[in-house]
Structure 1
Amino acid sequence: MQRLTGSNAYWKWNTAYNRHSVAETAMYRVKQQFGGHLTLRDYDAQVGEAMTMILALNKMTCAGMPESLRIACGSQ
């Protein structure tokens, strides 16, 4: 039997855990901001509602990002 030591980096890499984690984090952010449920009953309408929430969250995130400028170092 092989003994597991250290981090689970190998397992995470081979099972695409990072993609799963990013998706879970994104859904957590949407639910925290807009509530944990959809209000429309029709499936197609729910898809549109969810996409609208994600678009709004992306716009809010973009609005909160600082604009940075590169400043050259050294003498000319």
Structure 2
Amino acid sequence: MYRYKQLISPKLSLPDYNAQVGEALAGVKAINKVIELGMPIRKQAA
């Protein structure tokens, strides 16, 4: 949550509330993608 607040939260620039919600959700999706890219790929041992 700290990373989200530091990177996205103070920068909500759209004036409409619904647009800000969409902007916040886009930020969450971007952060989740970065986290996903950093996770190791697991393979089941044979």
TM-score for the superposition, normalised by structure 2 = 0.77
Give per-residue Cα distances to partners, 1:4-58, cap 9 Å, x unaligned. Answer: xxxxxxxxxxxxxxxxxxxxxx2x2212233523111100100000000001111
Alignment of 1:16-27 (within 5 A): 26=1
- Across the two proteins, how many residue pairs are aligned to each other? 46
Unaligned runs of 5+ in 1: 1-25
Distance 1:70 1:44 in 2: 43
- Of all paired residues, the percent bearing the same amino acid is 46
Give 3-state SS (helix, strand or coil) of 2:11's partner. coil
User: 2:30 is matched with which residue?
Assistant: 56
Q: Match for 1:69: what amino acid?
A: K
Q: Which runs of 4+ in 1 moved over 6 A?
A: none
Unaligned runs of 5+ in 2: none
Contact 2:4 2:28 in 1 (8 A): yes
Structure with bigger gyration radius: 1
More helix by share: 2
Contact 1:31 1:37 in 2 (8 A): no
User: 2:5 is matched with which residue?
Assistant: 31
User: 2:14 is matched with which residue?
Assistant: 40
